[in-house]
Amino acid sequence: MSGQSITDRFAAAQHSMTGSAISKAVCKATTHEVSGPKKKHLDYLIHCTSEMNVSVPQLADTLFERTANSSWVVVFKALIATHHLMMYGNERLIQYLASRNTLFNLNNFLDKGALQGYDMSTFIRRYSRYLNEKAMSYRLVAVDFTKMKRGTDGVMRTMSTEKLIKTLPIIQNQLDALLDFQANPNELTNGVINAAFMLLFKDSIRLFAAYNEGVINLLEKYFDLKKGQCKEALDIYKKFLYRMTKLSEFLKVAETLVCFVGLYLLGHPQ
């Protein structure tokens, strides 16, 4: 039996009548059903980000509208859908998000009327702050750190000293916002928060890779730095070591979740 509420079905029917395929897909991706957004709806929205006849601002605004809902499930899934599109959609979506003066304003969000409402509202506030920081990073450097070319000839390994010193603190801020999600295994209790956590896990691996390569580049240049730059580089390196510890704790939680999902799938073959 479907977990969609009568409200979800009514909203989808309204969009069908008005001919708004994007609004209908967003509605279906952000139902009250306590599970992550369905892949088919996310895939359709990803496709839309590359269609020149689709208005990216309209798509983004439709997702923003869903975060005004009072239900933690709907709001959380709207954030997950947005994050998914930032990761896998056409770059023009994140360009648009980065161009906005404000993105998600959910610092005071609280769902008092639902099971798990208080707990999940905390994670919604943290998750929205990370997405805001991800968009801000793009706004500052015009690149998504999780998608940049890596390796010895990659962006961070070939970056100049001056640019490294400006860029690494931006990566630090984004990684801090990600690690501030701070979920432990006992709090990953449903398919919605698990879907969000898996996206954060994927971002953390790619973000840290860029961060690590930037620090390696900076250390290789260390003995050629000016006195003031040496102090900045040392400070960046100390902060890097601290974040390595925090990331290892985050990855332990991720490992637990991945093992749990694997065991679940073994016991529930498709």
The model's pTM is 0.89
- Which of 124, 111, 108, 104 has the alpha carbon at shortest distance from 180? 124
* Per-residue pLDDT tens digits for 137-196: 999 999 999 999 999 999 999 999 999 999 999 999 999 999 999 999 999 999 999 999
Predicted pLDDT at 5: 59
- Which of 43, 93, 32 has the alpha carbon at shortest distance from 66? 32
Cβ neighbours around 14 below 10 Å, total: 13
* Per-residue pLDDT tens digits for 7-24: 655 455 444 433 488 999
6-267 fold: 1.25.40
Low-confidence ranges of the chain (pLDDT < 70): 1-19, 260-270
- Which of 147, 152, 140 has the alpha carbon at shortest distance from 216? 152
Q: What angle do CA 150, 156, 159 make, to 5 degrees?
A: 135
Q: How many Å apart are CA 154 and CA 202, to the nearest integer? A: 19
- Which of 93, 100, 172 has the alpha carbon at shortest distance from 139? 100
Domain spans in the chain, listed from the N-terminal domain onward: 6-267
109-to-124, 135, 220, 251 alpha-carbon distances in Å: 8, 20, 45, 27
